[in-house]
C-alpha cells in the first residue's frame, strides 16, 4: 500500500493514556463524524497502549482486556468501520509495551494475524523493552513482513522516537510513518523543542514514509493526560499545527473530540492548512536565511519557510519561537527572487483569507511571541525589472 499522503486521524494516548474503554472509543468515533473531522480527512482512529490483559493466553495469543472492552475488539473495529473510519491498534517491538503489557517481540507473525483478524488498518509499533541484543531495524522489518503476510493492508507506524538513527533506516523497513522524537507534552516548550529538533530531518520525510512529529496537542488545554498545568494558548496551538502542516507531518489528533472547542475545531479543519499538509508532493520547506537579531547575529527563534506546492503555488510560513514579540522580514532575494526578475509573490493569509498584497523585495511584519503567519503565495508578474 502506498502511503501517499501524511496519515490523519486520532489517537487515544494524549487524552486518555491507559484510561481507555469501549464506550469512550465509540463516542469518539461518533464525534469524529459529527464534528466534521472525518470529512476533513481525519480517518484513522487508533487505540494506543493498555488495551490488553497483562499476560498472553496459554497459546501465546494477546488477550483483550474485557473489563475495558467487554464486547471484544472485533466488535469495536466493526463499529469504527461502520462510521467510515479506519481502525488502528498498538503494540511494541520489545517484550513489553511502555505501560508493561505484552509486547510483540518473538510473536510478530502471531500478533499480525490477530490484528488482521480483528480488521486493523494501522499498527502503532513502539520501542520499549527492546532486548538489547535485538537489532531495532530488524524488529521493524520483521513486523512489517508479518503484517504483509496477512494479506491485509495495515499501515505500520514506527514509534522508535528517532532512536538508533531511525530516520536513516525506517523507510527501508516498509513503515508508512515514523516517530522522530520522544513524547510531546501539552506545553509550548515541548512543541518548540520538537520543531527545532526536526529541522535536520527534513529530507527524510516523503510519500511512502512520513516523519511523525507526534500526536497533536491542539485543543488539550491542559485537560489531557500528558500535560502540566494549563496547556498552551490558542496562538501556541496555532503555531504547533501550522508547523506540522508546513512539514507535511502526519496529523494525529490527541484531544477529546467529544468536547472539542470551536477554536480547536476551526483550526483543525482549516482547509488551506490541510491542503499544505496533504500536498501530494510533500516537499520539505525551503529555509530562508536567519533574521538578524539586535546584536547582529542570526536569530534562531524566527524561522521563515517556503514550501513548493504541487500546482505551482507556494506556502510561506513565518514562525516566532521566541518569547518576545518581534519584527520579521521576508527577503525574497534569499529564496531566489532577484529584485529585477519581474516577479513577485501575491500573499493570502490562510487564517483570515485576506490578500495582503504582492511583494517582490521584502515583506515586513510584526509577529507576536510564539505566533506564526502562514500565506499561500502565488508567483505573479509584478511589473518591476527589465521584462
Ligand atoms: C510511548 C510512545 C507514546 C505512547 C506511549 C504508550 O511513550 O512514544 O506515544 O504510545 O508509549 O505507553
Distance (Å, rounded) from C-alpha 98 to C-alpha 127?
A: 8
Helices (H), 91-202: 108-118, 136-149, 166-169, 188-197
Q: Each residue's pLDDT tens digit in the chain (387 positions)?
A: 899 999 999 999 999 999 999 999 999 999 999 999 999 999 999 999 999 999 999 999 999 999 999 999 999 999 999 999 999 999 999 999 999 999 999 999 999 999 999 999 999 999 999 999 999 999 999 999 999 999 999 999 999 999 999 999 999 999 999 999 999 999 999 999 999 999 999 999 999 999 999 999 999 999 998 877 789 999 999 999 999 999 999 999 999 999 999 999 999 999 999 999 999 999 999 999 998 887 888 899 999 999 999 999 999 999 999 999 999 999 999 999 998 999 999 999 999 999 999 999 999 999 999 999 999 999 999 875 544
Ligand 1 binding pocket mutation candidate from 89, 101, 183 (most atoms within 8 A of CB): 183
**Ligand 1 pocket, 49 CB below 6 A?**
yes
* Model pTM score: 0.97
The helix (run of H) or strand (run of E) holding residue 238 is helix 234-246
> pLDDT value at position 384?
57
- The one catalytic residue in 49, 111, 126, 186 is 126
Query: Active-site residue 126, yes or no?
Result: yes
> Is the distance from CB of 217 to CB of 232 less than 8 angstroms?
yes
Measured CA to CA, the distance from residue 177 to residue 79 in angstroms comes to 25
Q: Which atom of ligand 1 is nearest to the CA of 183?
A: 8
Rounded CA separation 362/316 (Å): 13
Catalytic residue selected from 78, 164, 183, 299:
183
Four-CA torsion 140, 146, 150, 156, nearest 10 degrees: 0
Give residue 313 CA to ligand 1 midpoint distance, Å.
37
Nearest CA residue ID for atom 3, ligand 1: 183
The reported pLDDT for the residue numbered 229 is: 79
Give residue 184 CA to ligand 1 midpoint distance, Å: 10
What would the grid cell of residue 91 be? 503494540
HSE at residue 297, side-chain half, CA atoms within 13 A, is 4
* DSSP state, residue 229: T
Q: Rounded to an integer, what distance in angstroms lies between the CA atom of residue 280 and that of residue 194?
A: 24
256 is annotated as an active-site residue: no
Ligand 1 lined by 126 (C-beta under 6 Å): yes
Phi then psi for 195, rounded to 5 degrees?
Answer: -55, -50
Q: Does ligand 1 come within 6 angstroms of the Cβ of 48?
A: yes
8-277 folds as: TIM Barrel (3.20.20)
CA trace torsion 363, 197, 248, 316 (10° rounding): 0
Instruction: Say which DSSP state 170 is in.
Output: G
Looking at the DSSP assignment, which residues form a beta bridge with residue 314? 308, 377
13 lines ligand 1 (CB under 6 A): yes
Cα 132 to Cα 93, 126, 135, 175, 331, distances in angstroms:
12, 15, 8, 22, 50
Query: Which sequence spans correspond to the domains of the chain?
Result: 8-277, 286-381
Distance 212 CA to ligand 1 centre (A): 13
Report the CATH fold assignment for 286-381: Immunoglobulin-like (2.60.40)
Q: Is 90 helix (H, G, I), strand (E, B) or coil?
A: strand
Please check whether residue 348 is in contact with residue 355, taking contact to mean a CB–CB distance below 8 angstroms: yes
**Residues with Cβ within 8 Å of residue 6, at least 6 apart in sequence:** 177, 210, 248, 249, 250, 251, 277, 278, 282
Biggest CA–CA distance in the chain, Å, is 80
DSSP 322-358: SSS-EEEEEEGGGGT--TTSSEEEEEEETTT--EEEE
The rounded distance, in Å, linking the Cα atoms of 323 and 249 is: 25
Q: Are 94 and 126 in contact (CB under 8 A)?
A: yes
Residues in the chain: 387
Q: Which three cell numbers stand for residue 281?
A: 508532493
| Residue 165 CA from chain centroid, whole number | 19
Number of alpha carbons in the 13 Å side-chain half-sphere of residue 361: 5
Q: How far is the CA of 260 from the centre of ligand 1 (A)?
A: 23
Contact in structure between 224 and 184 (CB atoms under 8 Å): no
Residue with cell 513565518: 318
Among the atoms of ligand 1, which is closest to the Cα of residue 99?
12
Q: How far is CA 17 from CA 12, 58, 183, in A?
A: 7, 28, 12
d(CA 174, CA 148): 10
Helix (H, G, I), strand (E, B) or coil at 218: coil
CA-to-CA separations, 144 to 1, 138, 154, 175, in angstroms, rounded: 12, 10, 9, 7
Amino acid at each position: 500500500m502506498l502511503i501517499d499522503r501524511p496519515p490523519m486521524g486520532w489517537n487515544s494516548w494524549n487524552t486518555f493514556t491507559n484510561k481507555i474503554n469501549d464506550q469512550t472509543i465509540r463516542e469518539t468515533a461518533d464525534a469524529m463524524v459529527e464534528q466534521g473531522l472525518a470529512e476533513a480527512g481525519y480517518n484513522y482512529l487508533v487505540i494506543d497502549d493498555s488495551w490488553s490483559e497483562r499476560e498472553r493466553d496459554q497459546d501465546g495469543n494477546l488477550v483483550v482486556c474485557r473489563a475495558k472492552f467487554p464486547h471484544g475488539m472485533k466488535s469495536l473495529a466493526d463499529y469504527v468501520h461502520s462510521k467510515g473510519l479506519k481502525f488502528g491498534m498498538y503494540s511494541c517491538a520489545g517484550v513489553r509495551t511502555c505501560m508493561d503489557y505484552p509486547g510483540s517481540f518473538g510473536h510478530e507473525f502471531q500478533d499480525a494475524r490477530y490484528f488482521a483478524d480483528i480488521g486493523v488498518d494501522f499498527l502503532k509499533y513502539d520501542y520499549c523493552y527492546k532486548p538489547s541484543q535485538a537489532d531495532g531495524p530488524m524488529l521493524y522489518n520483521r513486523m512489517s513482513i508479518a503484517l504483509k503476510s496477512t494479506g491485509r493492508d495495515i499501515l505500520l507506524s514506527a514509534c522508535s522516537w528517532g532512536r538508533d538513527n531511525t530516520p536513516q533506516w525506517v523507510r527501508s523497513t516498509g513503515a508508512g510513518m515514523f516517530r522522530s522524537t520522544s513524547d510531546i507534552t501539552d506545553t509550548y516548550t515541548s512543541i518548540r523543542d520538537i520543531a527545532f529538533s526536526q529541522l535536520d530531518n527534513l529530507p527524510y520525510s516523503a510519500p511512502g514514509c512520513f516523519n511523525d512529529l507526534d500526536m497533536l496537542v491542539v485543543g488539550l488545554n491542559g485537560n489531557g493526560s500528558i500535560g502540566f498545568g494549563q496547556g498552551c494558548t490558542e496562538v501556541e496551538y496555532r503555531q504547533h499545527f501550522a508547523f506540522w502542516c508546513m512539514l507535511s507531518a502526519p496529523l494525529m489528533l490527541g484531544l477529546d473530540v467529544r468536547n472539542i472547542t470551536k477554536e480547536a475545531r476551526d483550526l483543525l479543519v482549516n482547509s488551506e492548512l490541510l491542503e499544505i499538509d496533504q500536498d501530494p508532493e510533500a516537499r520539505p520547506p525551503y529555509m530562508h536565511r536567519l533574521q538578524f537579531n539586535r546584536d547582529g547575529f542570526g536569530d534562531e527563534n524566527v524561522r521563515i519557510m517556503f514550501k513548493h506546492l504541487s500546482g505551482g503555488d507556494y506556502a510561506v510560513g513565518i514562525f516566532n519561537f521566541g518569547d518576545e514579540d518581534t519584527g520579521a522580514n521576508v527577503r525574497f532575494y534569499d529564496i531566489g527572487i532577484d529584485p529585477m526578475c519581474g516577479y513577485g509573490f501575491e500573499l493570502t493569509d490562510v487564517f483570515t483569507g485576506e490578500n495582503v498584497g504582492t511583494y517582490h523585495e521584502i515583506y515586513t511584519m510584526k509577529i507576536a511571541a510564539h505566533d506564526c503567519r502562514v500565506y499561500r503565495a502565488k508567483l505573479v508578474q509584478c511589473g518591476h525589472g527589465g521584462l
